[in-house]
Chains A and B, each alone.
Chain A
Amino acid sequence: MQVIQLLVTGLAVGSIYALVALGFVLVYTAVNVVNFAQGDFSMVAAFFMVSLVVSAHLPYALGFVVSVILAGVAGYLFQLGVYQPVKNRPRNFLPVMIATVGGSIFLQHLFLILYGPVPLQLPSVFSQQTVDLGGVHVYPQYLLIIVVTAVMVALLNWFFERTKLGKQMQATAQDPTTARLMGINTARMNALTFALSTALGGLAGILVAPVYMVTTTMGSLIGLKAFAASIVGGFSSVKGAIIGGLAIGIIETFGGTYISGAYRDAFAFIVLVLFLIFRPYGLFGEKVSQKV
């Protein structure tokens, strides 16, 4: 029975990583850069949620939606201020990476100023008691995380596969020049991609907030592990991000229980290094020859 309990926990933790990893993958496939502040948007949304629900007494569901949207807006502003100015530099990987690392430092400390260093508590809509499902004791919040993530993945899938806007975003990611020639406003598509990815990160932050505390640094470790998950998944594959995220969540939960609790945070990176050595292009990545 403990195995199933751990599996539920692992899937829940993994869902969080998967959502953030999806954000990494969306931005990477669209504009070929990595947003190192991706994880911090989980923190941003969680703080918004605390303000809206705990301080302003908004209904939980409304606060939830508004916070996710605000995280998207924050992502839009972030790309405007941090990504746009450096995107045209030659070999832009390094400048973009550094700018987003700077952005991450800035966001964390901005929220430190706004909310102070004391961790805040976001209550769950459910009780903190475990429920008994045929002998398996699980926290309802974990089930919520899994269900919401599943719904979100289905929604995203619908958006990218069934809507013209979703297809236009894909087209922009695959070949921006040709997309422009088709009349697609690629700058708008890229901004939208950033907003979508930070909104996903925000969703993850709100979902996980009742389990952990809300602190200014809660996003960094989630972000790093999600980044590892997206690389394990193949980095340019949506399916890979989800499976990579879930796998890391499960490995971490089981490893933390059966191998060593103290090194729980190391498992994601150990898995990552093993992958990079033995399967450098991840689960679903394709090896692409470098163009000369």
Chain B
Amino acid sequence: MARQILKFIPVIALLAIVPFLLPGGRLGTYYLTLTILSVSYAIACLGLTVVLGYSGQVSLAQAAFYGLGSYTLAILTVKHHWPFWPSALLGVIVPTLFGLVLGAISLRLTTHYLALVTIGFQVIISLVLNNWATVTGGADGISNIPRPTIGPLSFVDDRSYYWLMLVFLCLAVYVVYRLRHSRLGNALLALREDEIAASSAGINLFWAKVLAFSVSAALGGLAGVLYAAGALYISPNIYIFDQSVLFFSMTLVGGQESIIGTLLGAGLLTFLPEWLRFLKDYYIAVYGLLVIVVVLFLPDGLWGLVQRGVRAILRLVKKETPVQPAAVVETLMQRAEPIHRPTPGEQVLLEVKDLHKHFGGVKAVNGVSFTVRKGDVAVLIGPNGSGKTTVLNVLSGIYEPTAGEVWFDGRNISGLKPHVINRLGIARTFQNIRLFPELTALENVIVGYYPKGTVGLAGTLLSTPRGYLEERIARERAEETLRLLGFTRIHEKAKNLPYGQQRIVEIARAMVCEPQLLLLDEPAAGMNTEETKELSHLVYRLHELGFTILLIEHDMSFVSQVATQAYVMDFGSKIAEGSVDEVLRNPAVIKAYLGDDAEYDYA
């Protein structure tokens, strides 16, 4: 996989020879200055690739981090006569710390709230830079910022400084690339796609957000440091809200999810004003229109357009035959002799005690108690609106119970966060399938393996052998799980899969960590007869393989084939329990399903 990074080499090589391609004289100097500017913009935008493109969080404060980087360098070198490199290092650390704080705040905030907090942060930083004159030099800014030397190497002239910047650009690209192709990157994408599913898959949303914001801020700070030394002079009017909007636009126009796209966007929008100069005053309006047009018509940016074009051409050339979907559970069914179905033991795995969950005045769950033993396939049935899904949502930590307790494996888990509950060994699927739509089937399942990983940011960026090993194991486990379920289209994006196959992938994601308890919320919903039959084989098989399962299902034929124990709910309370056949003969259950009618109770 490290070889894939080679695709950046032509881009970097092209960038490296730019100084030789420029015309001589003053025009050449001017263009080189612009190129230096665009490289620093590109690094700042790579930060947005992480926070916006990967983790899906809105940040309109990148210019603030850029400014913090620039000012830290300038103040330390010019006013305190620090040497360059330690100042530069602090120029990255200071914005990173602010990024940590912003990330921490963002846990509780989504969408517009978060956008506004970042804007507020941006506005406040601008005001401070303008007004805290004793430190920042106020509106006059700071001049005579030095450029660095390393031993005999001097980066004082524009051309060599430009090459030094390219080294840092490579570093930034490497960081973002490694992050994207690691366990942490998968977690960020999962966060972007579906927070509830991500947290149910064991991802700590808090750390994921903090990570995204701090990496983004660090890159913004690095870009700011490089800009300050490149421009030699800084003033607060560079680090304003409009500049944040510009960074944001650059990232989007190029393609927020792609590194090359981001570089393209940064370069393009830096030079666009030059090329549009003949339009005089009109160019900025044209530029605003460009942003709208890209957003309206190119959701994955210009680079996305290029990629789609290339793919279309390749398809014409290659004429690849579409892969036929294999029968869903074939492999699993063929794999081995029927194992003896385990009889449920005596050990109680899950115990729900007098659970209540109220929403306002609605008592969705009103005093439900039941147990699941190790080796059970327990099923919760009941008419629509009887509170079954709410029970599952409480068990998996999405809702906090209003009253009552949930004990799992000898431990009270009521009120714990979804990712904690997942790590204790309860994994789930959702009634209306919550896959990460833009991720492939395989990536979806790899995200499910996230809790088993241990390598953090440092390990990822340093490319430790352990990190690679873990990533390989996760990938192999995910492939194996999908293969076990007979699923073949592993590189297809989840959103392109038919419904029945999405369900299989969702089950794979839940079982890849081999949870002690698997919660399935209406797995047969929306499936046709054939798919339902296969699914019941699958659940049966999972049981044979030793999984303990609690499921909700309406389809009684499905239920009676797989379940060892049934609980019936109506109006938020349990009305019956026993084997499936027993409860289906229970008059109270018949009444709940068919309605109150004495004539019918002949049995």
In the complex, A touching B, CB below 8 Å? yes
Q: Is the CB–CB distance between A109 and B284 below 8 Å?
A: yes
Closest to A34 in B: B112
Closest to A271 in B: B120
Residues in B with CB closer than 8 Å to A273 are: 105, 117, 120
Contact of A263 with B131 at beta-carbon distance under 8 Å, contacts A269-B120, A272-B117 already known = yes
Residues in B with CB closer than 8 Å to A106 are: 285, 288-289, 291-292
A82 on interface, CB distance cutoff 8 Å = yes
Residues in A with CB closer than 8 Å to B116 are: 224, 227-228, 231, 272
Of residues 69 to 103 in A, which have CB atoms within 8 Å of B's CB atoms?
82, 85-86, 89-90, 93-95, 97-99, 101-103
Contact with A269, one of B123, B393, B398 (Cβ below 8 angstroms): B123
B249 on interface, CB distance cutoff 8 Å = yes
B124 on interface, CB distance cutoff 8 Å = yes
Closest to B357 in A: A289
Q: How many residues of B contact A (CB 8 A)?
A: 44
Contact of A224 with B285 at beta-carbon distance under 8 Å, contacts A101-B291, A273-B105, A276-B108 already known = no
Contact of A93 with B111 at beta-carbon distance under 8 Å, contacts A231-B116, A273-B117, A290-B196 already known = yes
- The CB with the most chain B CB atoms within 10 A, among A102, A105, A270, A273, is that of A102
Residues in B with CB closer than 8 Å to A110 are: 285, 288
Q: Is the CB–CB distance between A97 and B196 below 8 Å?
A: no
Q: Give Cα A263 to B288, complex, Å.
A: 30
Residues in A with CB closer than 8 Å to B119 are: 224, 269
Q: Is the CB–CB distance between B285 and A292 below 8 Å?
A: no
Residues in A with CB closer than 8 Å to B289 are: 102, 106
A262 on interface, CB distance cutoff 8 Å = yes
Of residues 487 to 511 in B, which have CB atoms within 8 Å of A's CB atoms?
none
Q: Give Cα A107 to B289, complex, Å.
A: 9
Q: Is the CB–CB distance between A102 and B299 below 8 Å?
A: no
Q: Is the CB–CB distance between B123 and A292 below 8 Å?
A: no
Residues in B with CB closer than 8 Å to A220 are: 241
Contact with B113, one of A90, A224, A280 (Cβ below 8 angstroms): A280
Q: Is the CB–CB distance between B108 and A280 below 8 Å?
A: yes
Q: Is the CB–CB distance between A102 and B295 below 8 Å?
A: yes
Q: Give Cα A89 to B292, complex, Å.
A: 15
Q: Give Cα A268 to B196, complex, Å.
A: 32
Closest CB of chain A to B408's CB: distance in Å?
20
A-B CB contact pairs (8 Å), 11 listed: A98-B252, A101-B248, A102-B289, A106-B292, A108-B288, A110-B285, A224-B116, A231-B116, A266-B127, A276-B113, A292-B398
Spell out A's residues near B (CB within 8 Å): 28, 34, 82, 85-86, 89-90, 93-95, 97-99, 101-110, 112-113, 220, 224, 227-228, 231, 235, 262-263, 265-266, 268-270, 272-273, 276-277, 280, 289-290, 292
Known: A99-B292, A273-B117. 13 other contacts (CB 8 A): A94-B111, A97-B112, A99-B295, A101-B245, A102-B289, A102-B292, A104-B288, A113-B282, A262-B130, A266-B124, A272-B116, A273-B120, A280-B109
